[in-house]
Structure 1
Amino acid sequence: MSLHQNSGRWRLGLALSLLTVFLWGILPIALAVILQALDVYTVIWFRFLVSFVLLSVYLGVRGELPKLKQLPAAAWKLLAIATLMLGANYFFFMQGLALTSPANAEVLIQLATLLLGLGGLVIFHERYTLRQWVGVGVLICGYVVFFRDQLANLITAHGTYIFGSGLVVVGASVWAIYALAQKQLLQSLSSPNIMMLIYGGAALLFTPLAKPDTILKLNNLPLGMLIFCALNTLIAYGAFAESLEHWEASRVSAVLTLAPIVTLISVELVAILVPTLIPAENITITGMVGAILVVAGSMAIALGKRVE
C-alpha cells in the first residue's frame, strides 16, 4: 500500500497547526468547567454529534459528501481504527482531566505529539535534519524545566491524581494511533470527509451512554462552555486534519507541543479575571525559562526544513 505524501505547502500547514494549538490550549479550561455540571459521556457525545451535524450540512451544501461505495476495504479498516482511537482519546483525557487539573492534563497529553512525530519518522519515512534533532533536545530540556513542579507533584501524589494522570497517558497513546491512521486515510478521502465520518461513528459509540436530558437543565455558563467545546472540536480537528495534508506529521507534532503554554497562560488569565472559576497555576522564573526553551525547540523542529 502506498503512503500519503503531503502537498508541500508548509506555510499553510504551519498556520493550521498554530490554530489547532490555540484551540486545544484553551479547551481544558472549558472542559474543566463543564465537567462540574455534566458527566463525561454526555459531554463527549454532544461534542461529536454537533461536529458531525454541522460538518455534514456544510459538505452537503457544497456537494462534497463522501462517496462511501467507492472506499476500498483498507480505508474502512483505517476509519474504524481512527474512530475507536479518537473516541478512546476523548474518554481517557476527560476522565483524567476530571481527576487532576487542566495544566497537568495538558502536560501529559503532549506524549501524543511526541508519539505522532516518532510515527511520522518510522511509518511515513520522514526525516529530521541535525538542526531539528537539536530542537528535539532543546524541547525535551524545556519541558523538564518548565514542568518541574508539575512532575514533582505527579511523583509524590497518591490516589486519584496518579490514576487520572495514567488515564491521560493512555489517552495520549491512542491519540497518536488515531492521528497516524488519519494521515494515511488522506490517500482515499479529503480531511473534511474523514472527520465527518469519524465524528458520526464516535457519536454513535457514545449514544447509549449519554444523558441528553441533562443538557436541558444546564445554566448559561456551563451550556455556553458545552457549545464552545463542540465548536472547538469541529474547528480544531478540522485544522489539524488539514495540516496533515500539507505538512509532515513529525513537524505538525512539533508545533502541537506548544499547547501547554497556551493552557497555562489561559489559566492565569482566567484566574485573574474570574478567580472563582479555575485556580491559578504558579509559574516561576525557572518555569518561564523552560517555556522559552519549549518554544525555541518546537520552532527549530517545525521550521528546520530539509534541503532537497
Structure 2
Amino acid sequence: MKTSVKVHAALFVVALIYAANYSISKDVMPRYMGPFGLVLLRIVGATLFFTVAHRLAAPHDRITGRADNLRSIACGVLGIGLNQLLFFSGLNLTSPINASLIQTIAPVVTVLASAVLLSEKLTLRRVLGVGIAGLGAASIILSRGPVVAGAPSELLGDIYILLNAMFFGIYLVIVMPLMRKYHPFTVLKRIFLVGAVLAVPTGWHQATTADYASFPPGIWVAVAYMVICVTIMAYLLNNWALKYASPSLLGAYIYLQPALAVLIAVSLGKDHLTWDRAGQGLLIFLGVFLVSRRAKPGQPANLPPLEPVQD
C-alpha cells in the first residue's frame, strides 16, 4: 500500500474517532464526571501507555538539545494540557453543534501557522480548499437548525472551544519537526508527560470524587473509548501522519468531522441523509483534495511530499 494511501486512511480514522466523541463525551459529563476529571483519566492513561510503548519500541531514543526540549514542552502545553482542558470544558458548557462549528477554525490556524513557522506557501489553491471545506462543514452544522442563543455559560463554552481549536492548529505545526526527527513514541511520551503536569492538579478533585460504582456499563465503555481511541489512537495516528504529510493536510481533515457525525447519526437511526447533506459532504471532500493535492511536475511543491523526510 502506498504511503499516501496509508496517511489518508489514518487521518480518516482520526476524523471518525473525533466525530463520534462529540456525542459520546456528552453522555458522560457532567452527570457522571466533570470535564477536568475526564481529561485527567485520558492524559494519565495515555502517558502510561506511551511510556511503556517507548520502553519497548525505542528505549534508547531521547529528545536532545535545548531547542527540541523547549519545543516538546510547548507541544505538551498547547497540544495536550491546554488543548484537552479547554475542549472538554467548552463541550461541557456548549452544544456539540457549536463545538463542531468552532472547531473548523483549526485548519485555518494550521495553514497560517505553517506559512509563518514552516515557510509553506499560502497559495490560492490552498486558500480555496480551506474555504470550500469550511463552507461544507458550516452548512452541515447550520442546516441542523438554529443554535439556542445565549446563556453566558454557552458563550464561555464557545470561547473555550475557539481557544482549543487555535492551540491545536498551532500544535500540529510545531510538533512536526519532532515527529520527523524522533520515534513517535519518544515524542508522545514526552508531550503527554508535560500535559499530565497540567491535568493532574486541575482534574484531581473531579476524578477522585466521582461515584464510579454508579457507572453503568455504557458509561465505562464511553470512558474507555475516550482514553483508548480519542487519546491514544488519535494522537498516535495524527503524529505518525506528520512524518509524511503537511500539518495543513491534517488540519483539513478536521472538516470531515461534522460530515462523519451526520453519517454516524444516520447509522444509529437518529438522523436521515438528504441530497443537501450529500452535496455538503462532497464540498468537504473537494476542499480536502485541494489542500492535499501535489503540485504539477515542473512547479514548486507547496506541500511536503507524502514521503519520509531524511534526517
Cα distance in 2 between the residues matched to 1:80 and 1:306? 38
Does the 8 A contact of 1:108 with 1:169 survive in 2?
yes
- Segments of 5+ residues of structure 2 without an aligned counterpart are 300-311
* Aligned match of 1:53: 48
Among candidates 268, 286, 291, match of residue 301 of structure 1: 291
Residues 64 and 52 of structure 1: CA distance in aligned 2, closer, same or farther (over 3 Å): same
Partner SS state of residue 243, structure 2:
helix
Deviation per CA, 1:90-120: give whole Å up to 9, x if none: 1111111112222331221121122112222
The alignment's C-alpha RMSD in Å is: 2.6
Look up the match of 1:4.
none
> Bigger shift: 191-200 or 54-63?
54-63
Give the aligned residue type for 2:85.
F
Which residue does 1:276 correspond to in 2? none
User: Which moved further from structure 2: 111-120 or 139-148?
Assistant: 139-148
Residues 126-151 of structure 1, C-alpha deviations (whole Å, 9 max, x = no match): 23665544433422332343333469
Residues 168-187 of structure 1 correspond to what in structure 2 (within 5 A)?
Answer: 168-186=161-179
Once the 2 structures are TM-superposed, how far is the Cα of residue 30 of structure 1 from its aligned partner? 1.9
Residue of 258, 265, 268 corresponding to 1:267? 265
Cα 1:195/1:161, change in 2 over 3 Å: same
**Residue 46 (structure 1) shift:** 0.7
Shift of residue 44 of structure 1? Answer: 0.5
- Separation of aligned partners in 1, 2:259 and 2:135: 15
Q: Is 2:89 the partner of 1:95?
A: yes
Q: For structure 1, which segment, 183-192 or 30-39, has the greater mean C-alpha deviation from structure 2 after superposition?
A: 183-192
Distance 2:236 2:108 in 1: 20
2:107, 2:130 within 8 Å by CA — same for their partners in 1?
no
Which of residues 208, 231, 234 in structure 2 aligns to 1:236? Answer: 234
Q: Which amino acid aligns with 1:164?
A: G
Q: Could you state the TM-score of these two structures normalised by the residue count of structure 2?
A: 0.82
Aligned residue number for residue 306 of structure 2: none
Aligned to 2:70: 77
Deviates further, 178-187 or 19-28:
178-187
> Are residues 152 and 103 of structure 1, via their aligned partners in 2, closer, same or farther at CA, if it must alter by over 3 Å?
closer
The 8 Å contact of residues 29 and 267 in structure 1, kept in 2 or not, is answered as: no
Distance 1:57 1:91 in 2: 24
Of 255, 258, 261 in structure 2, the residue corresponding to residue 257 of structure 1 is: 255
Distance (Å, rounded) in 1 between the aligned partners of 2:179 and 2:58: 19
Structure 1 unaligned spans of 5+: 1-7, 273-279
Shift in alpha-carbon separation, 1:181–1:133, aligned structure 2, 3 A? closer
Letter of the structure 2 residue corresponding to residue 216 of structure 1: Y
Shift of the alpha carbon at 1:49?
A: 1.1
The 5-angstrom pairing of residues 114-133 of structure 1 reads 114-127=108-121, 131-133=125-127
Contact 1:108 1:165 in 2 (8 A): yes
For the residues of structure 1 that align with 2:271 and 2:164, how far apart are their CA atoms? Answer: 23
Distance 1:215 1:45 in 2: 16
Match of residue 214 from structure 1: 210
Whole-Å separation in 1 of the counterparts to 2:95 and 2:266:
13
Query: Cα–Cα, structure 1 residues 77 and 146, in superposed 2: closer, same or farther, change >3 Å?
Result: same
Distance 1:87 1:151 in 2: 33
Structure 1 residue 298: deviation in Å? 1.6
Q: 3-state DSSP class of the match of 1:126?
A: coil
- Secondary structure of 2:118's partner? coil
**Other-structure match for 2:305:** none
The count of corresponding residues between Structure 1 and Structure 2 is: 290
SS of match in other structure, 1:20? helix
Q: Which amino acid aligns with 1:15?
A: A
Please state how far the C-alpha of 1:305 moved relative to its aligned partner. 4.1
**Structure 1 residue 173 displacement after superposition:** 1.0
CA gap 1:14/1:132 in 2 versus in 1, 3 angstroms: same
In structure 1, which of residues 291, 296, 302 is the aligned counterpart of residue 281 of structure 2?
Answer: 291
Higher relative contact order (CA 8 A, sep 6+): 1
* Counterpart residue type for residue 100 of structure 1: T
Would the alpha carbon gap of residues 306 and 132 (structure 1) be closer, same or farther in structure 2, given more than 3 Å must change? farther
In 2 relative to 1, CA 65–153 (structure 1 residues): closer, same or farther, beyond 3 Å? Answer: farther
TM-score, length-scaled by structure 1: 0.83
